[in-house]
Amino acid sequence: MTLTNEYEGDLESVEPIDAAHADETTAASTATSKTVGRQVLVLAESEYRLAIRSRWAVALTGIFAAFALGLTTFSGASVSPEGFDRTVASLAVLAVYLVPLVALAFSYDAIVGREESGWLQTLFSLPVSRAWIVLGTALGRGAILASATIIGFGVAGGFLLLEFGLAGFDTYVAFLLSTVALGLAFLAFGVLLSTLAREKTHALGFALLAWAWFVLVHDLLALGILSAFDLPGTALSALLLANPTSVFRALVLGSLGAAGDAGFASVLAEAGLSPGVLLGALLAWIVVPIALAAVAIRRRRV
């Protein structure tokens, strides 16, 4: 385990870790916020390096670039004028399938996988609060996923820029940033599942179930509920906000101009779902699962 040794080296370099404060809670209470910040950063950096060296980073970038390029350049010429809005509309609809799946696949083993390799026990023995271990892990992997999304879709954006010119490019960048947020939301959810699962296979199973729920089942149920009952606007908002993919779709498609459905934007406005609310909801979908995971890991028995 040469990698492990290297990271231990990193952790030991964090100052000051006093051997007398080996007890976790004592360490947390005496350590200054600056120390905690450095601990989290070191943990995040170790996750980041591991992902680079295990080729995860390159693989993720490749997947996103191939997806975006394939959809934008090799798709047959459709019968309608081309432009960023229309490209973004089709990308947004299809990104809902791919990005959550990739994010969950990348994150489901973040905690439980480390436990099976014995690395987590090592970390737990160090005077670092468990909550910071979760946060560091999520930050490291999040940085990789966000970077991969930006590079992958950014390359496709470059080609689109050559094809369509400058006008309307801001729509594409807004879509790209929303996609980063969507990926991070599912990464956070994956980390939570990984913290709760006893075995790696369980985490994988939960992750796939979560994907099926959020991508397919939830909206189908919502459609059914909408057709069966006459719901007030708040119930509609709740249904929409309960699914990060729906929030993402509303955020991206709602912001489109001529290519978007006029009815779509007005429905969003009626339900009180302004871009600010949607953005806040997506951020909550990132922060809340990580916070829950940070709490849940205290109950974990190694």
Residue of 71, 76, 62, 66 whose CA lies nearest to 93: 71
Residue 235: strand, helix, or coil: helix
- The smaller minimum CB distance to another protein, of residues 22 and 52, is found at 52
Q: Distance (Å, rounded) from C-alpha 107 to C-alpha 120?
A: 15
Question: Out of 86, 114, 130, 141, which residue is the one contacting another protein (CB under 8 A)?
Answer: 86
Q: Distance (Å, rounded) from C-alpha 64 to C-alpha 56?
A: 12
- Is 98 one of the binding residues for another protein (CB under 8 A)? no
Question: Out of 2, 32, 77, 263, which residue is the one contacting another protein (CB under 8 A)?
Answer: 263
Residue 133: strand, helix, or coil: helix
Stretch that binds another protein, among 12-20, 183-191, 192-200, 239-247 (CB under 8 A): 239-247
- Is 174 one of the binding residues for another protein (CB under 8 A)? yes
- Is 52 one of the binding residues for another protein (CB under 8 A)? yes
Question: Out of 48, 67, 106, 119, which residue is the one contacting another protein (CB under 8 A)?
Answer: 48
- Is 222 one of the binding residues for another protein (CB under 8 A)? yes
Residue 130 near residue 124, CB atoms below 8 Å: yes
- Is 123 one of the binding residues for another protein (CB under 8 A)? no
- The smaller minimum CB distance to another protein, of residues 28 and 281, is found at 281
Alpha helices (H) in the chain, listed in sequence order: 2-12, 24-30, 33-53, 56-73, 84-107, 112-116, 119-125, 130-164, 169-196, 200-212, 218-228, 233-241, 244-254, 262-270, 275-296
- Is 81 one of the binding residues for another protein (CB under 8 A)? yes
Q: Distance (Å, rounded) from C-alpha 28 to C-alpha 50?
A: 26
- The smaller minimum CB distance to another protein, of residues 192 and 250, is found at 250
Question: Out of 19, 77, 162, 262, which residue is the one contacting another protein (CB under 8 A)?
Answer: 262
Q: Distance (Å, rounded) from C-alpha 160 to C-alpha 88?
A: 11
Look at the block and give the residue holding tokens 């969507």: 182
- Is 68 one of the binding residues for another protein (CB under 8 A)? no
CB of 215 to another protein, least distance (A): 6
Stretch that binds another protein, among 110-118, 195-203, 219-227, 293-301 (CB under 8 A): 219-227
- The smaller minimum CB distance to another protein, of residues 200 and 249, is found at 249
4: left (phi over 0), alpha (psi -120 to 50) or beta: alpha
- The smaller minimum CB distance to another protein, of residues 31 and 99, is found at 99
Question: Out of 72, 147, 195, 255, which residue is the one contacting another protein (CB under 8 A)?
Answer: 147
